[in-house]
């Protein structure tokens, strides 16, 4: 067998490997977890820097307290910074949201192409944001302990098609289509404008924010992770909001 036919040949070196660290091994895939000492070496943790998480301003209606009916005020208040960051992410997504708000054309099918067109007019973005606010009136949020759910290993958030069925999320392939179809028919009969949805977010975020020093590396990591999960779940909701 010639050298060119040797299927056991090592993969090429990653172009941007980090010399002298576990990230620089002869593989395209880094370890599942960074090594703590390396994170310190690169100044990602324990850098001695005190951050100032001081984002302020009007929050998106998604994060009105009325949309979080079961959370205590203390736990709601500690989510202020993730909410502020999520609000800014939604604003930045304005041109992208114009792909399917206010007039979705997918009809339950995957779109062939979605693109960010930064030449969207202010009127287009305003129209998309108006529907976004309307969808917020059809949502409820709650905290959930996913650690006790045998079907939710590693899950940080989940959409529920029917607010009356909060025991399973859209990732349940067996019941997903039936639940979404059932919730659509109920919403139409009730005269609703959008599909009602419950979103569950892991309670580990709030627990961490309550017990971690504000401005520390850990606090900032949790803030970003919480905002990322929140916006991710909203992405599911916006895609499935239509009742057609």
Q: How many CA atoms lie within 13 A of 182 on its CB side?
A: 11
Q: What is the pLDDT of residues 155-205, one digit of tens each?
A: 787 876 654 444 444 444 434 544 667 777 888 888 888 888 889 899 999
- Paired with 142 in beta bridges are 200
For residues 23 and 38, the answer to whether their CB atoms sit within 8 Å is: yes
Predicted confidence band of residue 119 (pLDDT cuts 50, 70, 90)? confident
Give the rounded percent of residues in the chain with a pLDDT score beyond 70: 64
Our measurement of the distance from residue 4's CA atom to the centroid of its chain's CA atoms, rounded to an integer in Å, reads: 44
Higher pLDDT, 6 or 87: 87
Per the listing, tokens 């504000």 go with: 214
Q: Residues with Cβ < 8 Å from 161, sequence gap 6 or more?
A: 170, 176, 179, 180, 182, 183, 195, 197, 240
Provide the token pair at 151: 């079907």
Residue-level pLDDT at 163 = 44
* pLDDT of the residue at 155: 77
pTM exceeds 0.85: no
**DSSP class of residue 225?**
H
DSSP H helix total and E strand total for the chain: 8, 3
Spatial distance between the Cα atoms of 209 and 73, rounded to a whole number of angstroms: 14
Residues 20-50 as b/e (b if ≥16 CB within 10 A, e otherwise) read: ebebeeeeeeeeeeeeeebeeeeeebeeeee
CA 31 – CA 25 distance, rounded (Å): 9
E strands within 174-229? Answer: 197-202
User: Hunting for tokens 């850098």 — which residue is that?
Assistant: 47
Q: Which of 89, 104, 120, 79 is nearest to 222 (CA)?
A: 79
Give the confidence band of 114 by pLDDT, cuts at 50, 70, 90. low
d(CA 97, CA 129): 8
157-160 and 197-202 strand pairing: antiparallel
Going by the DSSP 8-state scheme, the letter that residue 14 receives in this structure is P
pLDDT mean over 90-107: 78
H or E stretch at 224 = helix 217-239
Taking CA atoms, 180 is separated from 51, 170, 186, 240, 242, in Å, by 43, 8, 10, 9, 11
Mean pLDDT, range 226-230, rounded to an integer: 94
- 13-50 pLDDT, tens digit per residue, is 555 555 556 655 555 455 556 666 776 776 666 666 77
Residue 58: per-residue pLDDT: 94
């Amino acid at each position: 067998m010639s050298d060119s036919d040797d299927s056991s040949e090592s993969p090429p070196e990653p172009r941007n490997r980090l010399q002298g660290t576990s990230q620089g091994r002869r593989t395209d895939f880094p370890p599942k977890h960074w090594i703590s000492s390396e994170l310190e070496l690169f100044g990602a943790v324990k850098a001695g820097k005190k951050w100032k998480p001081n984002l302020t301003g009007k929050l998106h209606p998604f994060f009105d307290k009325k949309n979080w009916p079961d959370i205590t005020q203390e736990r709601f208040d500690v989510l202020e910074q993730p909410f502020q960051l999520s609000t800014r992410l939604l604003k930045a997504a304005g041109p992208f949201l114009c792909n399917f708000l206010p007039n979705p054309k997918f009809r339950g099918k995957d779109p062939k192409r979605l693109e960010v067109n930064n030449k969207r007019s202010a009127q287009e973005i305003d129209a998309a944001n108006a529907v976004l606010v309307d969808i917020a009136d059809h949502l409820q949020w709650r905290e959930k302990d996913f650690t006790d759910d045998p079907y939710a290993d590693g899950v940080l958030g989940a959409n529920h098609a029917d607010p009356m069925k909060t025991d399973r999320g859209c990732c349940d392939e067996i019941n997903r289509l039936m639940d979404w179809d059932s919730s659509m028919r109920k919403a139409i009969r009730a005269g609703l404008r959008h599909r009602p949805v419950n979103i569950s977010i892991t309670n580990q975020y709030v627990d961490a924010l309550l017990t971690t020093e504000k401005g520390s590396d850990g606090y900032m990591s949790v803030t970003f992770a919480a905002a990322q999960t929140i916006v991710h779940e909203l992405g599911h909701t916006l895609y499935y909001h239509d009742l057609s």
